[in-house]
Structure 1
Amino acid sequence: MTFVQLIDCRTDRFDEMNRLMDTWVEQTKGKRTATHAVVGKDRSDASHYIEIVEFPSYEEAMRNSGLAETDRIFRDMIALCEETPTFTDLDVVWDEPLNPAVAREFFEEAGRSDPESLFERFTEDYVDHDPSNPGDLRVDAAREQYEGWRRAFEFTFRIDDQIAQDDRVCTRWTWAGRHTGDFLGIAATGQSVVMTGTTWHRFRDGKICEGWWEYDRAGLMEQLGAFGE
């Protein structure tokens, strides 16, 4: 079970403490078990800081605490604080990254939802970057392009992998479809086709505001017989 530790402290020497933590990160390479750390400053009290440190489990957190480097840094950190920091130990009982969930829903529903419902996940100023287009598309043009794919294919996406960082989510996917309508001048063949690709989505206020697409369009055209024998 994922474990989180909250370290609550007060200091007017945050820059020194920050350098101290940089030293700890450098000294514990290959040994530390912490996987994620966030430091927040109280907006109503500039000397009040809370650090949130994530570990794979409580046991891994205890291993981290047992490092000699951690013990030294902790003693140095106390010296920089107005009072002894307090620690709160938390077992994580719910953890749902919200942006990846929205991206996942988009791909899961892309082959069955109506365009208006699907594009409710996008901002009004959404920009679409696709190397197959002569230029970037705004949201209305991106919706029209999607409708064209829906007219040409019955399709679904399978999500193969997904990672997230800050306001961006990357999804590696496999697209499987059946050619049921005209596509770039190729009349419906009834052919079953498969294509792989990767999409980066950027989020703002919980909605997708920008997208970058890379996919095997040449492989798709080959499956449709566009290149002949």
Structure 2
Amino acid sequence: MTFVQFIDCKTGNVDQLDRLMDDWVEATQGKRTATHSMVGQDRSDSTHVIEIVEFPSYEEAMKNSELPETNRIFQELVAACDEMPTFTDLDVIRDDQLNKLVVSRFFEEVVNAGDPDATDALCTDDYREHDPSLSSYDLDLAQAKRENAEIMGAFNPTITVESMIAEGELVACRMTYRGRHTGTYQGLEPTDQDVAGTMHATFRCRGGKIAESWWNWDDLGLLRQLGALEI
């Protein structure tokens, strides 16, 4: 279970806390078990600073606290604060990364369910799609729907998301796909050939919807599988 620790500080020397964080990151390289660290400053009280540190589990957090580098930095942190920092320890019982959810819905509802019109609810009105295998590298939503409908009609593909990483407004995905060539694709008549391949995509989300996407997949490999190109 993911574990998060809040370290609540009062200090008139925020720059010193920032330097201590840099020192801790460098000193614990290759040793620390923390996976994410964030520092926030209270907008209504500039002396109120909260550090948020994430760990894979409480047990991993305890390993991190036993590092001599962590203890040294903590003692310097106490010295830089106006009063003793307080700690809040949390076991994370729910963690919804909302941009990842809308991207997951895109794959399930649009691609795997074969419904290009599902993009109307999942994408912004000014959505732009960038894919070198399509007619242009900058398509609006309507044109992207038309061209992707042709691909889905030709192969009835199923996409499996192998990994998904979200940071800020961006979601990056590594995927595999499988399908069968049962419809016309780029002028090629159906071959009934099973096809499979790999692909990557990055999505930019805004307001709970997908605003932009960039796609890279092995189109040449697909054409080779269809016998349209010599190996």
TM-score normalised by the chain length of structure 2: 0.91
Using the TM superposition, give the Cα deviation of residue 228 of structure 1 relative to its aligned residue in structure 2, in angstroms: 6.2
Query: Does the C-alpha gap of structure 1 residues 71 and 209 become closer, same or farther in structure 2, counting only changes over 3 Å?
Result: same
How many percent of aligned residue pairs carry the same amino acid? 51
> Is 101-110 or 21-30 further displaced after alignment?
101-110
SS in 1 for 2:179: strand
Q: 1:114 maps to which residue? A: 115
Structure 2: how far apart are the matches of 1:72 and 1:174? 46
SS in 2 for 1:88: strand
In structure 1, list runs of 5 or more residues that go unmatched: none
Q: 1:178 maps to which residue? A: 180
Structure 1: how far apart are the matches of 2:44 and 2:23? 29
Q: 2:199 maps to which residue? A: 197
Q: Is the 8 A contact 1:177 1:194 kept in 2?
A: yes
Structure 1: how far apart are the matches of 2:113 and 2:6? 43
Q: Is the 8 A contact 2:33 2:61 kept in 1?
A: yes
Cα-to-partner distance string for 1:112-156 (whole Å, 9 max, x where unaligned): 153222342212222211122343112222112112213322221
Q: Which portions of structure 1, spanning 4 or more consecutive aligned residues, are displaced by more than 4 angstroms? A: none
SS in 2 for 1:94: coil
TM-score normalised by the chain length of structure 1: 0.91
In structure 2, list runs of 5 or more residues that go unmatched: none
Using the TM superposition, give the Cα deviation of residue 215 of structure 1 relative to its aligned residue in structure 2, in angstroms: 0.7
Structure 1: how far apart are the matches of 2:20 and 2:230? 65
Amino acid aligned to 2:2:
T
Structure 2: how far apart are the matches of 1:227 and 1:90? 56
Q: Is the 8 A contact 1:119 1:143 kept in 2?
A: no
SS in 2 for 1:44: coil
Aligned-pair Cα RMSD in Å: 1.9
Q: How many equivalent pairs are there?
A: 229
Using the TM superposition, give the Cα deviation of residue 189 of structure 1 relative to its aligned residue in structure 2, in angstroms: 2.5
Using the TM superposition, give the Cα deviation of residue 199 of structure 1 relative to its aligned residue in structure 2, in angstroms: 0.8
Q: Trace 1:36-47 onto structure 2 (pairs within 5 A).
A: 36-47=36-47
Structure 2: how far apart are the matches of 1:147 and 1:125? 19
Cα-to-partner distance string for 1:184-207 (whole Å, 9 max, x where unaligned): 111222222212211111222222
